[in-house]
Amino acid sequence: MASWPTHLCLLLLCLVLLAGEASPQTAPPLSVDSADRWVRPWCQPKCGNVSIPYPFGIDSGCFRPGFQIYCNGDDTPYLDLGGNIEVVGIQLLEGTLVVNHYIARDCRNPNGSSSENNVPSINIIDLQNFKFSHRWNSFVAVGCNTVGYIWSHRESTFWTGCLSLCTSASIVPNDTCSGIGCCIAPIPMDLRNFSLLVTLVEDEYYPSYYSFAPCSYAFLADVGKLHFDLSNLTENRTTWKKAPVTLDWAIMNQTCEEAKVNHDFACVSPNSYCVNSTNGPGYLCNCSQGFQGNPYLNDSNGCSDINECSADISPCVKRCHNREGSYSCSCPWYMYGDGRRDGSGCRSILRILYLSLGVGLSLFFLIAIVSWLYWIYKKRKLGELKQHFFEKNGGSLRPDIRLFSSEELEAASDNYNQSRILGEGGTGTVYRGVLPDQNVIAIKKAKISNDEAEVQQFINEVEVLSRINHRNVVKLLGCCLETQVPMLVYEFVPNGTLAHHVHGEGRRGSLSLEARLRISSEVAGALSYLHSAASTPVIHRDVKTTNILLDHNLTAKVSDFGASRLVPLDQNGLVSLIRGTFGYLDPEYFQTGEFTDKSDVYSFGVVLVELLTGKKPVAKMQAVKNLATLFMECVNSGRLVEILEERVVDEGTPELLEAAAELAMRCLSMNSNDRPLMREVAMELEALTRWTTIHPWGNVNVEEGDSLLSKIGSSSPSTVLHDSVNSSIEPMVPLEIVR
């Protein structure tokens, strides 16, 4: 059977091993910097073998308040914290301080009586700038049938402890400290004071442990710095009085942000920075990257540049250039690399010249041959692709229009230069082009898309326009079918869109009433032609002022037939997904999905209202967002003059404006059966246009106008319109036109 000293060794081994369990980190090393000179001038740099860097100090004026170190006659540094606590070492940059701290003990004689030199409890007063490190320290209790306690006196009081039991040396486990022979407990952050208490638990049935473990201990310690000896527990049981403890120190009770505004901010050295303490309130100082020294001093001992180039082993292979806070490496001109030992270093460039030359020539010839073969391949593939697009876009079915090559259109548009853009839409961009014969054209280039519906929309526009020949419909001159989406070539209409002339900035009131009626008559005539006179009827489906172009003479040209559809002669309409522009959309089409020629009549009615009012179909400034609804409310309530544009009111007579408003109201009827046909609309507008030409009402005053109206009698605009077209509408509220 093993002797009891052997069992004591097992118990002590358990305590030593608790360092690995309690804190996996290694203990902070003692400072090895040149701390001897990190003091204020004329101050004592050491006490014994312990360096005392500022803000610590020994003599008056050599330390920051709260950081005084005392040095006794035998050159032992200590802190006066209600008792002399020996200082073992100060780590300036780590913010730690190692001291030897007292141990609470309770030893028994072999007969079980208490030893006279017992210290069963210890009280530690508040520390000012120091806290017991929760990273390195742990509470430890050692012994058999031992209970150890630790608690704090502060407001945030904590109380903890552990129990260590062993009835015989044989049950003490190896390589662990789990409560049998020794136990351990963590401590909290921000611990500035504590009390210790250790006591032996009386056990009359198992008194034998006095013979192999007569003492019980409780202490706070940096377990990585404990060094046990068997004599601590046997021959000189009462001489083991202290254990190493690591303190966290900081400039207390302020964060970096709070301290920077104070006059006594501690980080005074240039090239230093402040970091908050990791153990409760407080902060520390450190030197910036590339600097070393004491960040608490504002002199030559403060943070100074590290000359990396003066090191015994330079970080550079060849040339080292020290800079403020950093360094750089370079190579001679005949070498290449980053010049760093931990990088690519410096390598001779001469040895790779011949290899580079040979490889370069080989690559040159290889690239030349590959490029030539690739050029031939691309040219062949481009020809095949053009032919594919040509056939896909139905080129063989359209011999009646001019087919442009992609090269011709690129040259005409200066390779689609941004300065040539006439307008942009959701599906494409229109460019101004000039052919070699100096004829100006408009090129509609689609945005590249994988959506077959968009491709079909361009093909559909070619299909529609190739069947139409009307002076008020923009003329399709040709197309290019060699691209993924066909490009369309139109006659150039130079005067912009009708929307620009009605709503453009600074353009309000630029069109006379006569011009407005004439333009609306021309648009109505074009739509009437599409609905009735074309070889196959066409429904435009997107009639709006932005799709009406004006030439030099302000002659209207209807454009953009991408959404249009050819209607078989035996059908009145078609069903499709809702397409169109909000504000112009036929409500009946929106509800049923069936569009007819009456859908175009509704959209034209909105265009006519735009011309009369000068307002946009949808605008946030309007009381109601839909212009058609707002117009009908004003007409039905006898407030037509309130919504008409000022120039229109000035130039029109009450009868003329009433006739135009009446026509617009019929076009905007919610029931498509109540709307007139487009040819009827065209005839009525043509009559109104002729009447304004023969009788320029804007040149007479109210009395003359009233006299003239009384003379023409049945030849008034309303009479002419109702005589020329046999159409009926619901009774309207009388219009009150006030000059």
Catalytic residues, by residue number, are: 542
CA 348 to CA 336: how far, in whole Å? 6
Identify whether 55 is preceded by a cis peptide bond (ω within 30 of 0).
yes
For 28-181, strand residue ranges (E) read 46-47, 50-51, 70-71, 77-80, 84-91, 96-102, 104-107, 121-124, 130-132, 137-142, 146-151, 159-164
CA 216 to CA 237: how far, in whole Å? 10
Please give the biggest Cα pair distance in the chain.
146
- 343 contacts: CB under 8 Å, gap ≥ 6: 329, 337
Q: 335-336 and 421-424: which strand pairing?
A: unpaired
Contact 319, 330 (CB under 8 A): yes
Residue with tokens 């141990």: 103
Q: 556-558 and 565-566: which strand pairing?
A: unpaired
- Could you tell me how many residues make up the chain? 739
What is the 3-class SS of 553-572, one letter each residue? CCCEEECCCCCCEECCCCCC
Let me know the angle formed at the C-alpha of 76 by 282 and 296, rounded to the nearest 5 degrees. 30
Of 127, 140, 275, 296, nearest in space to 219 by CA: 140
Contact 664, 605 (CB under 8 A): yes
CA 558 to CA 434: how far, in whole Å? 22
Contact 516, 612 (CB under 8 A): yes
Return contacts of 264-269, CB within 8 angstroms, 24+ apart: 266/55, 266/64, 266/296, 267/295, 267/296, 268/295, 268/296, 268/297, 268/298, 268/302, 269/293, 269/294, 269/295, 269/296, 269/297, 269/298, 269/302, 269/303
Instruction: Report how far apart the first and last C-alpha atoms of the chain are (Å, whole number).
Output: 129
CA 123 to CA 195: how far, in whole Å? 4
Tokens read off for 128: 């000012």
CA 218 to CA 105: how far, in whole Å? 6
CA 505 to CA 343: how far, in whole Å? 64
Contact 425, 499 (CB under 8 A): no
Of 232, 234, 200, nearest in space to 5 by CA: 234
- What's the helix, strand, coil split of the chain in %, to 5? 35, 25, 45
CA 52 to CA 45: how far, in whole Å? 5
Q: If you ran DSSP here, which 8-state letter would residue 506 be given? A: T
How many helices (H) and strands (E) are present in the chain, helices listed first?
16, 37
Q: 428-434 and 194-200: which strand pairing?
A: unpaired
Contact 333, 348 (CB under 8 A): no
3-state SS assignment for residue 690: helix
CA 169 to CA 209: how far, in whole Å? 8
Contact 162, 141 (CB under 8 A): yes
Contact 150, 220 (CB under 8 A): yes
Partners of 71 in the β-ladder:
77
3-state SS assignment for residue 557: strand
In order, the DSSP letters of 224-285 are: GG----GGGTTTTTT---EEEEEEEE-EET--HHHHTTSTT-S--STTEEEEE-SSSSEEEE
